Amino acid sequence: MATTHDHSALIRNIQLATGVTTVAATGLLAASAHMLFRFAIDTQWKHSIFHQALIAPDREGKMNQGEAKEAGQWFSETKQPVSITSRDGLKLHGWLFDPDCIDPTPHIYAICVHGYTGAPEEQAKWAHRYARMGFTVLTPSQRAQDLSEGRYVGMGWLERNDLLDWIRLIVDSDDQARILLFGGSMGATTVMMTTGTPELPRNVIAAIAESGYTSARMEFIDSARGMFHMPKLLASACVDAAGLICKRRAGYDFTEASCIPSLRHTVIPMLFIHGGKDRMVSPRFLDMNYNACSSIDRERLLVPDADHMESSAVDPKRYWDTVYGFIRRSFKI
């Protein structure tokens, strides 16, 4: 029979082992969180996702096919440089395009916002469509990406203020401006985080959000589970820890980088689009974003067989009929 001394020794050994395991697990979690932050947010780290073709390895090929190729040529031949300084002192770059039609409607503008690890050139297909409708088009480069300055990507949260400043640039040059916002992927979330802010000028008439996630936290948990095959609880813990690092380094937490609060105050017409087979941003976000939106005039389009940002290629007639109908109704053109 074990003595009281034996029991005490056993308990001490268990406590010691548990403590060592806890310290080791905590250390491993901290290291994983730090790695996740640098990999996903820090564009200046040489091993970050921004220096690897992991998000869209076939991106260049898709930009040189069909309509995208024609639009890309138009983009490169007609782009005009424009820049602003962000509220935190970064020089942000963009491209401006004149309407590409004979009799453009005066005072209408479209801002096309690209996504994560992207560049304005990827918006060429949409920019060209809007230019042919008579819009003057602006395609900004999001902070820390392409030609714009910065180190940390804001997952839409930091970029929402940048978008407000791009809007202000247009309004300051044309007080009669009527503006359409279009965003794809992270650009869609940037747009959704902007539409409900009290700073939004009345010049913004409507917005289209395609393949956007609801929050950075949920998107990163999905990515950690898919890319690194983490169990859900571990992925959540790692992302939350990385969010704390992000708060200290980049000034925001993944939890606060959500478009829900903005959408609850959004009153302009909104069109939400998603592909039913999107492997990068879950299609479940379509209903979450749509249901959060307070606008009386809101619409959603799900293209069942489309992957990420591929809805216009998979079902072009339905896609563009919906987009054109939404724009004509909102802008009365």
Position 52 scores a pLDDT of 83
Read off the pLDDT of each residue in 197-202 and give the average, rounded to a whole number: 97
| The predicted structure's pLDDT at residue 189 | 98
**pLDDT of 24 strictly over 90:** no
Confidence of residue 229 (pLDDT cuts 50, 70, 90): confident
Query: What pLDDT, on a 0 to 100 scale, did the predictor assign at position 210?
Result: 98
Per-residue pLDDT, 227:
84
User: Where do the domains of the chain lie?
Assistant: 7-40+217-253, 61-215+257-331
So what's the pLDDT on residue 302?
98
Position 1 confidence tier, pLDDT thresholds 50, 70, 90? very low
What do you get for the CA distance between the two ends of the chain, in Å? 91
- Per CATH, the number for 61-215+257-331 is 3.40.50.1820
Q: What is the mean pLDDT of the chain?
A: 91
Helix (H, G, I), strand (E, B) or coil at 208: strand
Q: Is the dihedral of CA 168, 79, 76, 272 positive or negative?
A: positive
Query: Which tens digit of pLDDT belongs to each residue from 36-55?
Result: 999 999 999 999 999 886 66
> Across the strands, what pairs with 108?
178
204 neighbors 330 (Cβ within 8 angstroms):
no
Average pLDDT over residues 132-137: 98
Contact by Cβ (8 Å): 119, 141: yes
pLDDT of 20 above 80 = no
Phi, psi of 258 (to 5 degrees): -130, 145
